[in-house]
């Protein structure tokens, strides 16, 4: 199907994934109008594309959402906005629930009222808890969230399906696995291990980099370009969607200790890590089965972990210059 989007809305457009998505979308669809919303709770002002119609504010602000939807009438909504990270949600369960649950429902409601063609929701692999079977298939592993963040992300999925069932609005849910890449700053306590460790190497601060447990945990790291591609595929697909759920990953896993070795290999720098106990609510292993996304969406990841890591290192090096 040839898709020619006229207008889209990107929530969380100042965030890591949202800002990367806007850049790629503009390149592929230069004539499409892009509206974006972000309140800078985790995003950065300097990454907001100056050519888009940008609105500073929260997805909880109903009058702001009405204004955006009535003015821009987006055909597609890409919902990246969230208060991310497991540990922050453990510390702030009510605040994160408001943004991650009520914010999502508010957007779905507006999307229904203003007849959006398709709503593409950013979910998370954290909804699985510790998956019983690996590689993790969507159909074989029932959601078993272990943290407030995981619950919040999961609840968005049945809401998407309900809006499809009740109102006929197309919705797609993408479960991301461990996203990393250029644009992910490591100076926040909620960064992925890749960006946190690279930040400590290129911008040494008083805080030392650390490793939790023995480093024998494994992760299916997904490079940012793969996530952007999955969102494009979800928009461009000719299939009909009613809250369908898809894993978005690379389909390979890497030990955390191996990440350390590869970073040292490609940077030529030594990582001196402080040892810490395993994190509360953390999952030991992640590995996705991405066959459903490949088959239904036509998703084919373009970057494996090592290639993605070298691109990420280049970005950190460019920030030093």
Q: Which active-site residues does the annotation give?
A: 149
At 210, give phi and psi (nearest 5°). -140, 165
* DSSP string of 49-99, one letter each residue: -TTSEEEES-TT-HHHHHHHHHHH--SEEEE------HHHHHH-HHHHHII
Say how far apart CA 66 and CA 56 lie, in whole Å: 14
Q: How many CB atoms lie within 10 A of CB 201?
A: 20
Q: How many CB atoms lie within 10 A of CB 41?
A: 15
Using the CB atoms, write b or e for 258-268: b if 16+ within 10 Å: ebbebbeeebe
CB 235 within 8 A of CB 76: yes
CB 223 within 8 A of CB 307: yes
Q: Tally the residues of the chain.
A: 321
CB 213 within 8 A of CB 274: no
Helices 256-267 + 305-320 axis angle, to 10: 50
Task: Write the burial class of residue 206 (CB in 10 Å: 0-12 exposed, 13-18 middle, 19+ buried).
Answer: exposed
Which two three-digit tokens encode residue 51?
A: 């050519």
Which two three-digit tokens encode residue 150?
A: 């995981």
């Amino acid at each position: 199907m040839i898709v020619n989007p006229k207008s889209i809305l990107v929530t969380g457009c100042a965030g890591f994934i949202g800002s990367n998505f806007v850049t790629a979308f503009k390149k592929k669809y230069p004539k499409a109008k892009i509206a974006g919303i972000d309140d800078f709770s985790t995003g950065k002002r300097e990454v907001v594309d100056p050519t888009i119609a940008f609105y500073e504010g929260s997805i909880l602000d109903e009058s702001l959402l009405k204004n955006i939807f009535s003015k821009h009438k987006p055909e597609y909504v890409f919902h990246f906005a969230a208060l991310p990270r497991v540990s922050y949600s453990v510390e702030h369960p009510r605040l994160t629930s408001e943004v991650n649950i009520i914010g999502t429902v508010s957007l779905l409601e507006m999307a229904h009222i203003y007849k959006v063609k398709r709503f593409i929701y950013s979910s998370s692999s954290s909804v699985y808890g510790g998956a019983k079977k690996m590689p993790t298939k969507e159909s074989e592993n029932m959601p078993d969230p272990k943290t407030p963040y995981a619950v919040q992300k999961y609840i968005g999925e049945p809401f998407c399906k309900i809006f499809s069932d009740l109102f006929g609005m197309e919705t797609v849910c993408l479960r991301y696995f461990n996203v990393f890449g250029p644009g992910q700053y490591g100076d926040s306590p909620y960064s992925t291990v890749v960006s946190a460790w690279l930040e400590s190497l290129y911008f040494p601060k008083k805080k030392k980099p650390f490793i939790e447990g023995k480093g024998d945990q494994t992760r299916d790291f997904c490079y940012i370009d793969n996530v952007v591609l999955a969102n494009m595929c979800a928009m461009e697909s000719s299939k009909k969607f009613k809250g369908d759920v898809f894993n978005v990953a690379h389909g390979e896993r890497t030990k955390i200790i191996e990440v350390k070795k590869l970073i040292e290999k490609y940077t030529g720098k030594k990582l001196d890590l402080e040892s810490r106990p395993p994190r509360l609510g953390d999952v030991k292993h992640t590995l996705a089965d991405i066959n459903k996304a490949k088959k239904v969406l036509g998703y084919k990841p373009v970057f494996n972990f090592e290639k993605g890591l070298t691109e990420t290192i280049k970005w950190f090096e460019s920030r030093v210059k």
